[in-house]
């Protein structure tokens, strides 16, 4: 059996359970944030944009529900960018050759981020103009 693959019982052989597993998950998540921040200009730009929007959301006289939804869509956009960056990293890891399937994967990730940003704009417009 290859390392990192589940055993016949469906459990992974790393042996981490409970709080130890949670701790290691947090370490891997931190590493993912750092790698994305360092390697992806788009992620840094989105952090600035959504950070500014978060400040504005707290300055507006709106309901807590409206504020929560406005912040939620910003977090969703950041999550989509993390996933888009992961897709790009995997595609580049497999091959840097130009291939139609690689282009499709990267374009689909980009389309997902565009959709997320359209969602942000729509929600903010509805709250601010509604």
Active site residues: 81
CA 3 to chain centre: 27
The whole-angstrom separation of Cα 74 and Cα 120 is 6
Specify whether the CB–CB gap between 127 and 66 falls below 8 A.
yes
Look at residues 31, 70, 29 and name the one whose alpha carbon lies nearest to residue 49: 70
Specify whether the CB–CB gap between 114 and 122 falls below 8 A.
no
Q: Give residue for tokens 């006289």.
A: 61
- The conformation of residue 97, written as its DSSP 8-state character, comes to S
User: How many Cβ atoms are within 10 Å of 118's Cβ, its own excluded?
Assistant: 12
């Amino acid at each position: 059996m290859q390392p990192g693959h589940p055993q016949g019982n469906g459990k992974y052989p790393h042996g981490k359970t409970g709080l130890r597993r949670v701790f290691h998950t947090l370490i891997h998540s931190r590493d993912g944030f750092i790698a994305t921040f360092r390697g992806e200009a788009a992620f840094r730009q989105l952090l600035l944009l959504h950070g500014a929007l978060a400040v504005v959301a707290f300055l507006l006289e709106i309901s807590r529900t409206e504020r929560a939804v406005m912040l939620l869509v910003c977090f969703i956009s950041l999550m989509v960018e993390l996933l888009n960056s992961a897709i790009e990293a995997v595609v580049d890891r497999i091959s840097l050759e130009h291939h139609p399937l690689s282009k499709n994967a990267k374009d689909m990730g980009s389309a997902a981020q565009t959709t997320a940003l359209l969602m942000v704009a729509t929600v903010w417009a509805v709250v601010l103009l509604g």
